[in-house]
Structure 1
Amino acid sequence: MLCHQYFSSPTDIALGFAADGVGPFKSRQQTCWPLLAFNYNLPPSIRYHLDNLICLGVIPGPSEPKEINLFLAPFVQELQELAHGVASYNGKTDCPFCLCAYLVACFGDMPAVAKLMCMKGHNGKYPCRACKIVGIRAPKTKDPTKLGTTHYAPLARPFAGPDKGPSHYDPLNLPLRTHYQYVKDALYVEQSKTPTEDARRSTSTGIHGLSMLAEVPSLDFPISFPHDFMHLMFQNVVPSLIDLWTHTGKKATFGSPKDDYVFPKTVWRAIGEACKKSGDTIPAKFGCRVPDLDEDRGQSSAESTLLFATLIGPGILCKFQKEEYYQHFLFLVWLINKCCSYSVTQDQVDFIRRGFA
């Protein structure tokens, strides 16, 4: 129990934390996990600069850690001490003071955050860390008469069985998880007496056990673990849109290449060439070069996808057969720009929420 309120002093520090696996070598067959902290007291314009990142350590590879709680233990211990306050010295006032720091947010892609929260992850029956939406199994691609082992969570599910949740979820009124329910479910799983019971309880809750981070008093599960916009938008939504527009990748079996939202191959080839040439005239300050999205799309990064979506795309994607598809894309660009702004008003938050829903 703390003897003071959070951020009751102007010297209190707000911290963020991120962890994810990265491939340090070109082959990407081996990974390591950097553990990074961010100082939210710094201005947003410099908060994520390399010089201002706090590297807590690196979990060695060659594969992902199976027991990440062991690596988080020293960090959690320091956070508990910082929450109560540590003796510090103010060089400006020439006086000692009690320094408090609080971890308020944790980031990473879905598998990484699922590991931090000790959850089943996006392939589980309860895949979402924010709500209790029920996942359903999709038919196998090669044999649609049989169900696959991977769950997914569509909002509309008229074919879902009685034990698979409602036939439709309202995106503005999802069955959200709470901190109390998370801790209760985690302890329920940990109290299992047999491996079979543990597996059953884990499946029914979407949780493996209680995360070490639950011992940090300033964290709220799952509010303190928001979905990462970079992974959601620039490594998922926009690439999926490109798959849809070109009838390739994961959307190669969706619909028909003759659908009116699919670009003809010659048109997309010209768009890819235009993206590649644009790097010769766009200042590097705007971001990295956008590769040829027809020939070298595998070289795309989240940064280049951001540049394509917000700066290049609105100018060269105006040749849709239907104007409504282009306007739909422009509205998405508007939402992206608002989400990437340094400041957002509450009214804009509500509008963005309804826009994505």
Structure 2
Amino acid sequence: MFKNGDIIAIEKLLNIKGHNGYSPCRSCEIKGVRKISTQGTNYYTPLKTPRRENQTRQSYHPLNLPLRTHEGFVSVLEELDATVTKRQRERIAKEHGVKGEPSLRRVNSIDYANCAPWEWMHLFLENIIPQLVDLWTGRYKMLDVGSEDYELAPHIWEEIGAETAAAVNKIPAAFVRVLGNIAVDKSSFTAEAWSFWFIHIAPIVLRNRFPRLKYYTHMCKLISLMKTSIKLEITTQEINSLEQGFAEWVREFER
């Protein structure tokens, strides 16, 4: 399961609250916020705390997150073991995102904070890229664009879909399988399809399509970071550049 990067399976194995919790991350102890004005129950983890919601939760810097440690996990487990009431246990579990003993607690060589690194395919191809497309087409959880202007007009997205379907007709199958019209039905897009489309096709079909250049530039930054991160050989300097680059990309995304 660690090799395949199944997020839900790893959450079950570590016995943590997971991606919908107040403290959702298995790598750090960032806290979530919810939309108080509409009594929202879902927690989200922006770096910058929304002001208009009168939130008390602190803002975070992506290069200075409160990282989890194995000792921290063990300390929470000891707190849970020492509780007397169910309410106490629920409060501790919510605050720290740890529900109880991991499945492999008796295996002393496992570091709970570092045993399950984040996996490239699920992180980018099954989460970030499809969500970006939903944002660009006005289909992401009923959110509007706010003060920005990044949505693609329906007729432009239809053109992009047709160009996507036509783009791979003469590319050998060893490189990519047939891609459908992404504007009509993207349910057939596997992780492999998302990878090829985003890295190789999107820079062409989305050029000059956004209302403002900065959205296209922001997309290309992510493509460059992704391509560097899957190189067969990578230098220490490139690792440092990736760390800085991803942090800057996320902060720019929130802005």
Matches of 2:32 and 2:224 in 1, distance apart? 30
Q: CA deviation at 1:216?
A: 3.1
Tell me the residue number matched to 2:229. 339
CA–CA separation in structure 2 for the residues paired with 1:160 and 1:128: 23
Match of 2:176 among 271, 284, 287: 287
Give the aligned partner of residue 94 of structure 2.
Answer: 203
Whether the 8 Å contact between 2:168 and 2:176 is mirrored in structure 1 is: no
Q: 1:172, CA displacement in angstroms?
A: 0.3
Q: What's 1:91 paired with?
A: none
Deviation by residue 1:299-322 (Cα, 9 ceiling, x = unmatched): 211111001011111111102333
Change (3 A) 1:339 1:200: same
Decide which moves more: 338-347 or 120-129: 338-347
In structure 1, the partner of 2:8 is 111
Alpha-carbon distance in structure 2 between the residues aligned to 1:118 and 1:160: 31
Residues 149-185 of structure 1 show CA distances to partners (whole Å, capped at 9, x for unaligned) of 22111111134543x3x1x201100011101111111
Q: Distance in 1 between matches of 2:139 and 2:43?
A: 23
Query: Retained in 2: the 8 A contact 1:126–1:135?
Result: yes
1:178, 1:222 within 8 Å by CA — same for their partners in 2? Answer: yes
Q: Whose strand proportion is higher, 1 or 2?
A: 1
CA shift in 2, pair 1:216/1:286, >3 Å: farther
Which of 166, 184, 199 does residue 75 from structure 2 map onto?
A: 184
The alpha carbon displacement at 1:190 in A equals 3.0
Contact 1:290 1:305 in 2 (8 A): no
Q: Does the aligned pair in 1 maintain the 2:145–2:151 contact within 8 Å?
A: no
Q: What TM-score results when the alignment is normalised by the length of structure 2?
A: 0.87
Deviations 1:70-120 (A, max 9, x none): xxxxxxxxxxxxxxxxxxxxxxxxxxxxxxxxxxx6653332211111101
Question: Which residue of 1 is the match for residue 253 of structure 2?
Answer: none
Query: Within 5 Å, which residues of 2 pair with 1:318-357?
Result: 318-319=207-208, 320-357=210-247
**Which runs of 5 or more residues in structure 1 are unaligned?**
1-17, 19-104, 140-144
Q: Taking every aligned residue pair, what percent have the same amino acid on both sides?
A: 32
- Give 1:131's aligned residue: 28
1:272 aligned partner: 161
The alignment status of 1:255 with 2:145, answered yes or no, reads yes
1:259 Cα shift? 5.8
- The equivalent residue for 1:23 is none
- One-letter identity of the residue aligned with 2:179: V
Offset of 1:290 from its aligned partner? Answer: 2.2
Q: TM-score, normalised by structure 1?
A: 0.64
Q: Could you tell me how far apart the structure 2 residues matched to 1:204 and 1:260 are?
A: 36
The gaps in structure 2 that reach 5 residues or longer are 248-255
Instruction: Determine whether 1:149 maps to 2:41.
Output: yes
Q: In structure 2, what is the Cα distance between the partners aligned to 1:263 and 1:289?
A: 24
Question: 1:1-357 maps to which residues of 2 (within 5 A)?
Answer: 18=1, 108-139=5-36, 145-157=37-49, 158=51, 159=53, 161-162=55-56, 164=57, 166=58, 168-250=59-141, 252-255=142-145, 260-319=149-208, 320-357=210-247
Do the aligned partners of residues 182 and 272 (structure 1) sit closer, same or farther apart at CA in structure 2, a change above 3 Å counting?
Answer: same
Q: Secondary structure at the match of 1:336?
A: helix
Deviations 1:125-158 (A, max 9, x none): 111111111112224xxxxx33222211111113
Contact preservation (8 Å) 2:27, 2:113: yes
Bigger mean CA deviation after superposition, 322-331 or 298-307: 322-331
Task: Give the letter aligned to residue 120 of structure 2.
Answer: F
Return the structure number with greater relative CO, CA threshold 8 A, min gap 6: 2
Higher helix share: 2
Corresponding residue SS for 1:304: helix
Q: Is the 8 A contact 1:179 1:220 kept in 2?
A: yes
For residues 48-79 of structure 1, what are the alpha-carbon distances to aligned partners after superposition, in whole Å with 9 as ceiling and x for unaligned? xxxxxxxxxxxxxxxxxxxxxxxxxxxxxxxx
Count of paired positions: 244
